[in-house]
Structure 1
Amino acid sequence: MTHLSRRGALGAFGGLAAAGLIGAPRLARAAEFPLKYGNNLPATHPLNVRAQQAADRIAKETHGRAELSIFPNNQLGGDTDMLSQVRSGSISFFTPSALVIATLVPVAAINAVGFAFRDYDQVWTAMDGKLGAHVRAAIGKVNLHAFETMWDNGFRQMTTGSRPIETAGDMEGLKIRVPVSPLSIAMFKALGSAPTSLQFSEVYSSLQTRIVDAQENPLPIIDVAKLYEVQKYCALSNHIWDGFWFVGHGRTWAALPDDIKAVISRAINEAGLKQRDDIRAFNETVQKQLQAKGLAFNRPAPDSFRARLRDAGFYNEWKGRFGEEAWSLLESAVGKLT
């Protein structure tokens, strides 16, 4: 899934890339603190454009003492590889999605609870507030340093071929493709759907031949994969939000001088805020493009979906998995779920 979307995103993000390209000329003098940062996105993605701007700022404000070298597009391996590398210290920094780092820190998946967030205001209230601090503390317990600003990976939306999704009742019996994620599978089962886990390479043909009737992904992937050719409707459900934690190897971070840490923290956190704006603007552009290609949009209210998940015991089950404290912090930002 991500490989296809990233390749297709190269042109779309070209304008942003012009603002700061990966691979810009490096300082001639060897840095006192060389730092390697790996991620799984192309150099032209807003995450890497903003990260390069942060790297330039770090070099400038530390007078060349610290240098952040960026390795995009899985150059250092896949997510599992890079998570292992940042834990061992063979790379200094990595940006795993919350669902990736949740394999190591289970509570990190709490932002992907179904229909928890109505909009970005609630997302950032939670993740910039006490819930984010709780997750960062849990990340710290596995000897990783998580920066305060979480970077955006977007909301997931649902598309269908036969009928629009207006309420939770429209989910009953719906054959929908989902990724291999226990949280996602549990959510769609609780909604009465028939979730099927398929490789992303199979999604287009499976929709075309009606093996499945629906799928769910962020809008840029729906566009790049041309799923509008085999789907008629898109519900802006915002049913799952995921983001990237910018994490560093704990001992590497602890060994840096305080003044270097301060520069890096400011640069990374402020770049993350700009990346959020980039993603939000890009999603608005993609929606207009998809509408022009014939995809019909609607915006279902989350209330009936939340009620169905509550009645099915979904929220109570995951409250037990994430723990009372984390769940309470989530509900303080989004309202009562259980």
Structure 2
Amino acid sequence: MQNLSRRSMLKITAGAALAFPAILKTTRVHAADFTMKYASNAPVTHPLIVRITEATDAIRKETGGKVDIQVFPNNQLGGDTDMLSQLRAGAIDFFSLSPLILSTLVSKAAISGIGFAFSDYDHVWAAMDGELGNYVRAEISKSGLYAMPKIFDNGFRQISTSNHPVKTPDDLKGLKIRVPASPMWTSMFRDFGAAPLTINFAEVYSSLQTKVADAQENPLAILDTGKLYEVQKYIAKTNHMWDGFWQLANVKSWQKLPPDVRALIEKHINDAAVKQRADVAALNASLETSLTAKGMTFNSVDTAAFQSRLHASGFYKEWHGKFGDEPWALLQKGAGRTL
């Protein structure tokens, strides 16, 4: 961020003043120009980056160039754990991150990723735009981060493999499957008897290509935009977890912004979230066909059998104990089922 003199601020165009007079009134007092960094692991073609870029362009335009949020997609600024550290240190101002990876810092953020909790998107958005999402955002705020009100969609996660299809829980035994840096992911796949490997997304393609891992799990949009179909053959439609992208801000960077600027940024990012959710839904509806055309083979599974295995292993009991009664009750209320 760079400070401008009062004289420089008075040079802001009359057009910009008409477009957003409230911001100009505030920033004349603060006499500041804001250049900020937004980072993500998502590829440039992913709906997340497309919509965030639209939002930052709109913010730049409506403030007459006063707020310039530069977008760095595709792990340009490092892996997830590294970028989270940069966000906390203030080297990055905004960062999109899965709740489950965020759980390495904010343990209760992972509550939305409990295996097989959500049956459909109606339940997901009711929970994440409601009480469960509010609870998680309050937990995030305790760690020096600010989470925007609306979470973006990453999607329901599916398992892909290069060596054999996954049709039953037994097919996961001994499988070298890449998972993000999250205790819950590791816990769940270990309970299935798999061999989970924690690997940052920036290294997923190469780890699959070199057979360090034989499998991975991600929403179809990530599998497509990350070109993982080039190094995977089979997809099991497990819908084993719903995953999203919290839009996080370094709280010190956020609080330095005038209130009207914060309101404008939040408005555009929340609007982008609603559009991005629709984008992912439309994309997922077409991806089975397009990925099949690229050589992948899909199969359905009996999700009840996978849930039963997790109940038998004590997975749900263990994580209920770790999260506590309050967030667990909010999860069950939003999901509309007892876990």
Same structural fold, with TM-score higher than 0.5 when normalized by the shorter chain? yes
Q: Which residue of 1 aligns with 2:229?
A: 226
Secondary structure, counterpart of 2:189 in structure 1: helix
2:318 aligned partner: 317
Alignment-derived partner of residue 292 in structure 2: 291
Compared CA separation, residues 56 and 300, structure 1 to 2 (3 A): same
Q: CA contact under 8 A between 2:90 and 2:250: conserved in structure 1? A: yes
AA aligned opposite 2:42: L
Structure 2 distance, partners of 1:215, 1:89, is: 32
1:266-277 matches, cutoff 5 A: 266-277=267-278
Secondary structure at the aligned position of 1:64 is classed as: coil
| Structure 1 moving runs of 4+ over 6 Å | none
When the two structures are superposed, what TM-score results if normalisation uses the length of structure 1?
A: 0.78
CA distance in 1, matches of 2:253, 2:190: 43
Does residue 1:41 correspond to 2:46, yes or no?
no
Distance in structure 1 (CA, Å) of the matches to 2:88 and 2:221: 31
Compared with structure 1, are the counterparts of its residues 235 and 270 closer, same or farther at alpha carbon in structure 2 (3 Å cutoff)? same
Q: Is the 8 A contact 2:176 2:195 kept in 1?
A: yes
Structure 1 residue 243 displacement after superposition: 1.4
Quick one: structure 1 residues 162 and 37, their matched pair in 2 at CA, closer, same or farther if it must change by over 3 Å? closer
Q: Say whether the 8 Å CA contact 2:236–2:299 is kept in structure 1.
A: yes
**Alpha-carbon distance change, 122 to 197 in structure 1, aligned in 2, over 3 angstroms:** same
* Preserved contact between residue 147 and residue 265 of structure 1 (Cα < 8 Å): yes
SS of 1:95's partner is strand
Residues 209-240 of structure 1: CA distance to partner in whole angstroms, max 9, x if unpaired?
Answer: xx96x65333245552336x763x53211102
- CA distance in 2 between partners of 1:96 and 1:139 (Å): 12
C-alpha distance in structure 1 between counterparts of 2:334 and 2:120, whole Å: 11
CA contact (8 A) 1:31 1:66 kept: no
Matches within 5 A, 1:38-77: 38-77=39-78
Change (3 A) 1:87 1:176: closer
Q: Counterpart of 1:60 in structure 2: which amino acid? A: K
- The code of the aligned residue for 2:194 comes to A
Match in the other structure for 2:100: 99
Unaligned runs of 5+ in 1: 1-29
SS class of match (2:238)? strand
CA gap of 1:285–1:189, structure 2 versus 1, over 3 A, is same
Task: Name the amino acid aligned to 1:104.
Answer: L
Partner of 1:126: 127
1:276 partner amino acid: R
SS at match of 1:158: strand
Letter in 1 for 2:91: S
Question: 2:263 aligns to what?
Answer: 262
- Are the structure 2 counterparts of residues 76 and 204 from structure 1 closer, same or farther at C-alpha, using a change threshold of 3 Å? closer
**d(CA) in 2 for partners of 1:162, 1:80:** 31
* Offset, 1:334: 1.4
Judging changes above 3 Å, is the alpha-carbon distance between structure 1 residues 85 and 198 closer, same or farther for their aligned structure 2 residues? closer
Provide the C-alpha distance between the structure 2 equivalents of 1:64 and 1:33, rounded to a whole number of angstroms.
9
Name the Cα RMSD after superposition.
2.8
SS at match of 1:137: helix
Q: Is the 8 A contact 1:118 1:302 kept in 2?
A: no
Tell me which residue corresponds to 2:208.
203
Q: 1:196 to 1:142 in 2, by over 3 A?
A: closer
Q: Which residue does 1:175 correspond to in 2? A: 175
1:78, 1:331 → 2: CA distance?
Answer: 32
Shift of 1:205: 5.6
Verify the 8 A CA contact 1:31 1:67 in the aligned structure 2: no
Output the TM-score relative to the length of structure 2.
Answer: 0.78
Cα distance in structure 1, aligned partners of 2:216 and 2:144: 37
Instruction: Tell me how far apart the structure 1 counterparts of residues 211 and 48 of structure 2 sit (CA, whole Å).
Output: 31
Q: 1:49 to 1:234 in 2, by over 3 A?
A: closer
* Residue 299 of structure 1, CA deviation: 3.4
Shift of 1:258: 2.0
Hey, what does 1:15 align to over in structure 2?
none
Change (3 A) 1:187 1:100: closer
Give the corresponding residue for 2:24. none
Q: Kindly indicate whether residue 275 of structure 2 is the aligned counterpart of residue 280 of structure 1.
A: no
Q: CA deviation at 1:331?
A: 0.6
Aligned equivalents of 2:324 and 2:49: distance in 1? 34
Whether the aligned pair in 1 keeps the contact of 2:40 and 2:95 (CA below 8 Å) is yes
* Structure 2 residue runs without a partner (length 5+): 1-30
What amino acid does structure 1 have at the position aligned with 2:106?
Answer: V
Equivalences, count: 300
